[in-house]
Amino acid sequence: MIRLAGLETDARLRHAFFTRRGGVSVGPYASLNCGFASRDQAANVERNRAIAMAMIGLPADRLVTCRQVHSAAAVTVEKAWRREAAPPADAMATKVPGLALGVLAADCAPVLLVDPIAGVIGAAHAGWRGAFGGVVEAAVEAMESLGAARHRIRAGIGPCIGIASYEVGPEFPQPIVAHDPAATAYFTAAQRPGHFMFDLAGYVEHRLARFGVRLIERAPYDTLGDERHFFSYRRACLRGEPVFGLGLSAIVLDG
């Protein structure tokens, strides 16, 4: 597990950005694959989720995840739902103690948030599409609807694809920079002419800060570059591999 100091200031709060190690899955899913959207056996995924929850002292049925669709949709959570009933969304917020908000990722940025004064937590799945569409802002707004204040929110950006690994084509920066000229800072020239390296975590941090979140911490890991610890969609694509696992990040407030 990876924890960030900025999210450890409240004794009621537990969080973790889990690595791919410590589960029961095998092959390309080895070993803590927590994504039902993968082609892994559902029984393995269920067991892996239970293992992850046990690491933070919770039963498996307290974990809540959405059907992630790379959107800016956010939901408030009042109780755990069945997997089949998971809403299509990429951000969540709750003030219910004992509910773990979970995000699945394999290069996208998992974002965990807390307002310790209001007792409100949030989570977001921020790939480039969701980040550009406003998913972290939607997560903050969902938290505010439950009594949080953005200037009190602490945010942790978990392991995601790093700038050294995230090469994008010549058409990629234009819509992002046109929307926000300051986003130019998150693109650097790649070795291939006309291509760029994109700093996803930096861009997500920028979006949070621009929206009024003051306390933001980033985990210094590159999911593509560290195969031992992380799943990576782009790594699988570069190798022509048809399947990949999904890592879990989760946050919960104790009762």
Burial 95-119 (b: 16+ CB within 10 A, else e): bbeebbbbbbbbbbbbbbbbbbebb
- From the list 179, 200, 177, the residue with the least C-alpha distance to 108 is 200
- Residue spans of the domains in the chain: they are 5-162+199-253
Average pLDDT over residues 77-105: 97
pLDDT at 70: 98
Q: Residues 122-161: pLDDT tens digits?
A: 999 999 999 999 999 999 999 999 999 999 999 999 999 9
Per-chain mean pLDDT for the chain: 97
Q: Quote the CA–CA distance of 165 and 197 in Å, as a whole number.
A: 7
Q: Quote the CA–CA distance of 117 and 120 in Å, as a whole number.
A: 8
Identify whether the C-beta of residue 142 lies closer than 8 Å to the C-beta of residue 218: no
Q: Which amino acid is at 251?
A: I
pLDDT at 255: 74
pTM greater than 0.95: yes
Element spanning 154, H or E: strand 154-157
Average pLDDT over residues 46-58: 98
Assign domain 5-162+199-253 to its CATH architecture. 4-Layer Sandwich (3.60)
Identify whether the C-beta of residue 113 lies closer than 8 Å to the C-beta of residue 81: no
Q: Which amino acid is at 167?
A: E
- From the list 35, 97, 101, 33, the residue with the least C-alpha distance to 63 is 101
Q: Are strands 215-218 and 247-253 parallel, antiparallel or unpaired?
A: unpaired
